[in-house]
Amino acid sequence: MRHTNQKAFSILSLFVGLFLLFSLPLSATIYYVDKTTGDDGDTGLTEALAWKTINKVNISAFNAGDSVLFKCGEEWREQLTVPTSGSDGSPITFGVYGEGADPIINGASFIATWTADGENFGSEAETVNWCDADRVIYNQYTTTAGGVIQSYKMYWGSTVGYTALKCAMFTDNIGEPDQLIADSESEEITVINANSWNTLNVTSGATLSASTTYWIAFWGDGSSALAGRDATDSSAPRRNEDKAYGAWGNVGSTVNPGAEGIGAYAVLGIANVWQAACTTEPNVVWFDGVLGTEVGSAALCNEANEWFWESDVLYVYSTSDPDTAYTDPGIYIDKACIRINNMDYITIQDLELNSSGLQTINASRCHDIIIDNIEADGTYAVGAGNITFYGIDGDECYNVTIQDSDIHHTSGATTKCIYIEQYCYDFTISNCTVRDSAYSNIELDNRSVEADASHDITVTGCTIYNTGGVGAGVEFGRYTYNHVVEKCLIYDTARSIIASLNSHDNVVRYNLCLDSTQENVLINTGASVELYNNVFQAGSVGVYVEAGAGASNIFKNNIFYNPGNWRGAIAVESAVTIVSDYNCFYRATDLKWYWYGVEKTSIADWRTASGQDANSFVADPHMIDPANGNFKLNPHSPCVNAGTSVSLTEDYEGLKIRHAPDIGAHENQTNALFFAWNLFKQWWY
């Protein structure tokens, strides 16, 4: 029996071992990428055998738990397109190794294979029998794209009787050459190469229209036998006119049908303008790292670094072939620095991302993403946002953390630093600096129906400042819900908070909202927001509630400090219900409120009109040093223990709330010592 038990135990141990072997993830692998000394032909498995390009990363497959590390101090102009998902507990990590500055990824897509702008108008293959002296030869052709005449090309045969030759372009009049086109004349050449193409440049070229018939004319001072090159294309209509070699003029009265022709064509286009295929319209174009200037047409590309895009073609100015003129690193257009599409369990950390015109991070249909300790510079970012997440119905974005990062600058007039779009939920944005947006710094979606809207996103512990236009530090987009903004410092914005159309059940608590140029909080039609324990300093009005706003706007335990004189502390338009109480209002002079558009200059009048703020008061909150950013309460502040419970447990700094809550963002930690004093003070006064 003992041996049987031992055998059973051995079999059981074997099965347990096999189970553990196949249930555990494969050993994680680290891959290294070094722009300077790497080689994509190596394995990437050691620093000495590092890969070179991000493209190598993009085309490789990784296992859950693997890491791809970029060398510190290096810089890439490519897009990182995450190629593989990780798994629960074993994310794929994109990070750094080595010493020095964080590695930089500049999103870019290089444009190559440039050709001179325009078309070769005419024929490179004509048969010529004879060319007499002092005779103008006209060859009829029809343009395709048109363009500016840059030069003429002429092929001459073995016998050249000319000592001078020039070209020009004529209009067509019912199948006959007619008028000389101004600025179409070429230079005169006196050295004519036999059995080869000759170039006759045009100083100030005329513009030829697309799909239009013209006549290319050449004129010489001698005669030549066997002047052309054998070819099959001799179908173009030809005319000739006897005229002594001299100054160009319009066609004379006698023009004869002629067999004479020559391999001749005009090079159409714009001098020093080159074109290349580019199927995506760029926001910006870079020339060896120098930001280009967009102009209104290809014809306006007249100086270095000017560009124009139309119909899947990019035009640039260059005095020589851009493929060789720009090689450090080249001509490139904007692309997201990192693209995460339908990939899950991904960590991005410790990288510096510099926008070349699009997002630093563009993520869609993904979940369990961590963005940690990055710098995302969106100085040239246009479009939705510097960092953008979005999902689709049935393939949402969720479980995303953006933390400990510096996310700054955008370029487009409505571009946000962080934009969380449709079908996104369970996001946390924590301990980040979000700043210098051209519009709102953080926008949490903006939908037309609630079913598509983002929800359950928390912004906590962030420093948010400097917005452009009429943007906000944080904007609750239309129809979004269950968002929280807490423990944030928001300052120097147009608005601190915007609650957009029909957003609801969003909470703003324990924040410092300072020095907005317009409303500290703007609540749009149909929107509802709960404001608890905030400090609202300055701004044209503390809270502005538009007509038709939602019915669940609650304002409690807030300090309204020096609100602006436009609409005062709280302004409510018609047909709106609010709940407001246990707030502290203070302005040295001219404190006011607005109820249904009527100014109220005392809290008694405000209470009578609105039915609100029965337990609120007007008094200096006695914060320690608000002029220098210290909004903590002095122990003798009237706001100490003057608030009401709103089921919160921690203040702006994460300190525990004791006794009755204080009004404002900071809970005074000497409450126990001054509790009796406050009671006595209230009784005495």
Least confident of 166-170, 446-450, 587-591: 446-450
pLDDT tens digits for range 465-513: 999 889 999 999 999 999 999 999 999 999 999 999 999 999 999 999 9
The alpha carbons of the chain give a radius of gyration, in whole angstroms, of 37
Least confident of 75-84, 127-136, 335-344, 355-364: 127-136
pTM (2 decimals)?
Answer: 0.77
In 3-state terms, what secondary structure has residue 5?
helix
Q: Please name the residues in contact with 659: beta carbons below 8 A apart, sequence gap of 6 or more.
A: 641, 671, 672, 675
**Higher per-residue pLDDT: 485 or 143:** 485
Structural tokens at position 187: 């230079």
What are the strands of the beta sheet with 273-277, ordered from one edge?
Answer: 115-116, 273-277, 313-317, 306-310, 293-294
Compute the average pLDDT of residues 30-42.
Answer: 98
pLDDT tens digits for range 191-207: 888 777 788 999 878 88
pLDDT tens digits for range 637-684: 999 999 999 999 999 999 998 778 999 999 998 755 544 544 454 555
Compute the average pLDDT of residues 426-447.
Answer: 94
**Higher per-residue pLDDT: 469 or 542:** 542
pLDDT tens digits for range 91-101: 999 999 999 99
Compute the average pLDDT of residues 541-563.
Answer: 94
pLDDT for the residue numbered 602: 96
pLDDT for the residue numbered 305: 96
pLDDT for the residue numbered 240: 85
Place 519 in a pLDDT band, splitting at 50, 70 and 90. Answer: very high
Strand-strand pairing, 568-572 and 541-545? parallel
Across 153-157, 389-393, 565-569, 571-575, which has the greatest mean pLDDT?
A: 389-393
pLDDT tens digits for range 400-425: 999 999 999 998 888 999 999 999 99
Give the count of alpha carbons within 13 A of 655, CB side only.
14
> From the CB of residue 578, how many other CB atoms can be counted at a distance below 10 Å?
23
* Angstrom distance (rounded) from CA 455 to CA 401: 14
**Higher per-residue pLDDT: 327 or 228:** 327
Place 257 in a pLDDT band, splitting at 50, 70 and 90. Answer: confident
* Angstrom distance (rounded) from CA 397 to CA 399: 7
* Angstrom distance (rounded) from CA 281 to CA 309: 7
What is the residue-averaged pLDDT of the chain?
A: 88
pLDDT for the residue numbered 214: 94
Confidence check: pLDDT of 6 > 60: no
Place 87 in a pLDDT band, splitting at 50, 70 and 90. Answer: very high
pLDDT tens digits for range 441-466: 999 987 788 888 999 999 999 999 99
What percent of the chain has a predicted confidence (pLDDT) above 90?
65
pLDDT for the residue numbered 299: 77
pLDDT for the residue numbered 684: 56
Confidence check: pLDDT of 24 > 70: no
Helix ranges (DSSP H) in 283-423 = 322-325
* Angstrom distance (rounded) from CA 303 to CA 376: 32
User: Which residue shows structure tokens 């004379």?
Assistant: 252
**Higher per-residue pLDDT: 110 or 681:** 110
Place 26 in a pLDDT band, splitting at 50, 70 and 90. Answer: low
- Residue 684's Cβ-count burial label (10 Å; 0-12, 13-18, 19+) is exposed
pLDDT for the residue numbered 131: 64
pLDDT for the residue numbered 669: 80
Least confident of 89-93, 233-237, 341-345, 589-593: 233-237
Confidence check: pLDDT of 262 > 70: no
* Angstrom distance (rounded) from CA 357 to CA 336: 8
Compute the average pLDDT of residues 378-391.
Answer: 90
